[in-house]
Amino acid sequence: MTPRGLVGDKGYDARANRDAARARGICAIIPHRKNAKGKPRFFAGQLYRLRSRIEQFIGKIKRFKRVAMRCEKTKQNFAAIVALACGFVLVKTVHTA
């Protein structure tokens, strides 16, 4: 299954990255740098703002040492630890709301 969009930060603002995504039929949602030449007028800002939620969630999960250091050797065990960490994050989020 091919993704429909690629959301990246300004560090990925290179013509090669945009062309590679376009060649695969993926819409690149990457903001242009201030000094970039030939900026398009339209930018999907709403989609780009959702990126921060994802990064915050990944940061919360990486607070669990076993996830951050990838202590589990098998894919199944690592997926179980990630699911457990997600459960803890969810419970804490619901409990404090």
Q: Is residue 57 in a domain?
A: no
pLDDT on residue 36:
74
- Does residue 40 sit in the same domain as residue 79? no
Range of the domain at 82: 62-97
Are 68 and 47 in a shared domain? Answer: no
pLDDT score, position 97 = 57
- The domain tally of the chain equals 2
The reported pLDDT for the residue numbered 65 is 92
Asked, for residue 71, whether it belongs to a domain, the answer is yes
How far apart are alpha carbons 20 and 30 in whole angstroms? Answer: 13
Do 45 and 69 fall within a single domain? no
Pair 47, 1 in one domain: yes
Segment 58-63 shows an average pLDDT of: 93
Instruction: List the end-to-end C-alpha distance of the chain, in Å, as a whole number.
Output: 36
- Alpha-carbon distance of 80 to 75, in angstroms, equals 9
Q: Is residue 42 part of a domain?
A: yes
Q: What is the pLDDT of residues 5-15, one digit of tens each?
A: 888 888 888 88
Asked if the structure places residue 34 within a domain, the reply is: yes
Percent of the chain with pLDDT over 70: 98
Pair (1, 47) in one structural domain: yes
Contact in structure between 6 and 50 (CB atoms under 8 Å): no
Q: Is residue 56 part of a domain?
A: no
| Look-up of token digits 């404090």 | 96
- Band (pLDDT 50/70/90 cuts) for residue 75 is very high
Residue 20: CB partners within 8 Å, gap ≥ 6?
Answer: none
